[in-house]
Amino acid sequence: MKIHSSILVAALACSAAPVFAAENGNSQYAPGASQFYGGAIPPYEGFYFLSQTSYFSANRTNDSNGNKVPIDFNVKAAVETMRFMYVSDIKIGEAQLWGQLVLPVIHLDLDTAFGSDNAFNIGDATTTIGLAWHPDRNQTFVLGFDVGIPTGSYDEHALANTGLNHWSFQPTLGYHYSDPEGLEFAAAARMIFNTENTTTDYKTGNEFVLDYAVGWNFGKIRAGAVGYFIKQLTDDAGPTARADGHRGEGFAIGPSLTYSFNPGLQVSASWQHDVYAKNRSQGDSVWVNFATKF
């Protein structure tokens, strides 16, 4: 989060269609969610809250070469993600112990050559336990372990689902640098180890995600750029998995603007455009974030 909020927000089930990498194209982490909150656990004990309202839209899905698949395709996903975090006064060596619970609510509209469907329900929750180091007033290093929990609504016969019906385990590293009158930089890298969907016997390959943000502080205003890189490192497996493993990859970037009312209250907005995508949908995401300390 920064001094205002925290790191790693999760859980946006972006879309669903048999032409995607991963089972139905879904992941239990939304690439690009961290933004300037990446690696930014505050050093002060207490409860923190982060609301992220996001809207994703795409009218194309791409093949393994990044070319548009010539089929009718349109997806829209509106998500409200609520993140509750507690920073404790417990120290392990020089590190501060913290934890969080992330709860998404998803409205999904999907229209493809395979049919149309929509869903409105909770998504898969995420819990985190982590450690944060604050070597000086400008820097924070974070080590976290996220667990994606299959709490979302799921029906194997539905085209649109807000849940994935499997677990994931996500070790994460984060770094945050902030000069109140200058440069700010954030990065969060994670591995996503997916378990099998026992209903369909499908196992999504393991994924690597790097969220990044870089900007400049002008008093209470921060302007910068945010985005992500995602790459699937192992093949999908299961009765309906493609022989080539159908690994996904993508890169996004876009502008971000933040206003800090005080060190504990912040509002920000960003737009992230998918510059390229392989075996994934290619579209745009808009985020509005509200962070505060209780």
Q: Which domains are present in the chain? A: 23-293 (2.40.128.130)
pLDDT tens, N- to C-terminus, the chain (294 residues): 333 333 222 222 233 333 344 565 678 999 999 999 999 999 999 999 999 999 999 999 999 999 999 999 999 999 999 999 999 999 999 999 999 999 999 999 999 888 999 999 999 999 999 999 999 999 999 999 999 999 999 999 998 999 999 999 999 999 999 999 999 999 999 999 999 999 999 999 999 999 999 999 999 999 999 999 999 999 999 998 888 888 999 999 999 999 999 878 999 999 999 999 999 999 999 999 999 998
Cα–chain center distance at 13: 10
pLDDT of res. 18: 33
Cα separation, 193 vs 265, whole angstroms: 34
Cα atoms found within 13 Å of the Cα of residue 213, Cβ hemisphere only: 38
pLDDT of res. 294: 86
Q: Nearest to residue 119, comparing CAs of 199, 15, 18, 204? A: 15
Decide: helix, strand or coil at residue 171: strand
Q: Say which amino acid occupies 125.
A: A
CB atoms under 10 Å from CB of 57, counted, come to 16
Sign of the CA dihedral running 5, 171, 225, 253 = negative
Cα–chain center distance at 126: 11
pLDDT of res. 144: 98
Give how far Cα 70 sits from Cα of 59, 66, 247, 277, Å: 11, 12, 19, 15
pLDDT of res. 15: 30
